[in-house]
Amino acid sequence: MRCLCMILIAVTLAGCESKSPVAPVLVYASGEAGSELDGLLAEFTEETDIPVVVSWGDSSSNTDKLVNNVNDRADVLITSNVADIWRAADEGSLRPIRSAAFDSVPTFLKDSEGSWAAIGMRLHVIAVANADVQPIVEGYDALASAQLRGRLCLSSSSLHVNRSLIAMLINDRGAKQAERLVRSWVQNLAMPPLASQEALLDALREGRCEYGIVAVQAGNNDPVVFKPEPIYLDIDGIGVARHAQQPQAAQQLVDWLLRKTNIQIGSDAETRPVGIAGWLDEDAKLLAERASYR
């Protein structure tokens, strides 16, 4: 009996020793994602038993680290804009995503070569201080009207989300027409460009200006917003690092997030591939400088 007990103990210990701990997935993520992403990653770990470690930082710096292989090699990159995820792919720092979850993402919200996809989306809209503001403007050209002189607010062109809009305008109108439009916006400013979209929204709520351009989650109507046609947008992007140390677990996490977020937009919307904003980001930056849009 004593021998049998010793054998059982030995087998049990051998089983425990053979089960090695699961290596965590290292995610580079932008601080803008915040608690919502924390919650999703915790849910993923609870479902799969795969731990996730997040290295928080601003989107551009995280992308630089991935591209330059600085410090630990990330398994997954999550950016707060299309320009950074596009740049990571352009530098060859992402591996192709091949899965049913990726295939289900609308074509305009992912890379044509399979390197990245959107897990978050913000629509560019025209916001007004309140429903009584006149005239009603439903397009970007109306914001260039002399009737709006001293009544418009913009946030800084240093924000990728604003350059995303400019890049789309360059694509649709050409650089000269897009620059003429942006210059007219600058002439109509009530104050210098604000540091953040939150500061712009505060200025609208407080009546310091009456019109603004912001990027909001679909369905958000704070403050009153108009959705111009065509629809332009920016995204939170995700991709698997080319040199991921845990490539299978990284792919599993990306697939899980793509299914969980399930980003969609109305099928009747006129949309462009969001990657255009990444491709033309430098052109948008130069245009903003020429137009004195800081």
Per-residue model confidence as pLDDT tens digits over 111-125: 999 999 999 999 999
- Pairing relation of β-strands 211-216 and 152-153? parallel
Alpha-carbon span 196 to 281, nearest angstrom: 19
Q: Could you tell me which residues come within 8 angstroms of residue 254 by beta carbon, excluding any fewer than 6 positions away? A: 76, 97, 99, 101, 102, 238, 239, 240
Q: Are 56 and 78 in contact (CB under 8 A)?
A: no
Q: What integer pLDDT is reported at residue 2 of this predicted model?
A: 38
Q: What ranges do the domains of the chain cover? A: 24-121+234-264, 122-233+277-290
DSSP letter string, 138-175: -SGGGGGSGGGTT-EE-B-TTSHHHHHHHHHHHHHH-H
CATH topology of domain 122-233+277-290: D-Maltodextrin-Binding Protein; domain 2 (3.40.190)
On the question of a common fold for 24-121+234-264 and 122-233+277-290, the answer reads yes
Q: What integer pLDDT is reported at residue 218 of this predicted model?
A: 56
Q: What integer pLDDT is reported at residue 5 of this predicted model?
A: 39
State the sign of the Cα–Cα–Cα–Cα dihedral 188, 190, 192, 194.
negative
Alpha-carbon span 49 to 96, nearest angstrom: 25
Q: What integer pLDDT is reported at residue 177 of this predicted model?
A: 98
Alpha-carbon span 1 to 128, nearest angstrom: 83
- Pairing relation of β-strands 211-216 and 117-128? antiparallel
Q: What integer pLDDT is reported at residue 217 of this predicted model?
A: 72
Under CATH, which architecture does the 24-121+234-264 domain have?
3-Layer(aba) Sandwich (3.40)
Q: How confident is the model at residue 270 (pLDDT cuts 50, 70, 90)?
A: low
Q: Which amino acid, 240? A: V
Q: Work out the average pLDDT over 158-179.
A: 97
Q: How confident is the model at residue 291 (pLDDT cuts 50, 70, 90)?
A: very high
Q: What integer pLDDT is reported at residue 1 of this predicted model?
A: 42
The better pLDDT of the pair 178, 218 is held by 178
Element (H, E) at 70: none
What size, in residues, is the chain? 294
Predicted confidence (pLDDT) per residue in 5-32, tens digit:
333 334 344 444 445 678 999 999 987 6
Alpha-carbon span 6 to 10, nearest angstrom: 6
Give percent of the chain above pLDDT 90.
76
Q: How confident is the model at residue 73 (pLDDT cuts 50, 70, 90)?
A: confident
Alpha-carbon span 283 to 270, nearest angstrom: 23
Classified as helix, coil or strand, 125 is strand
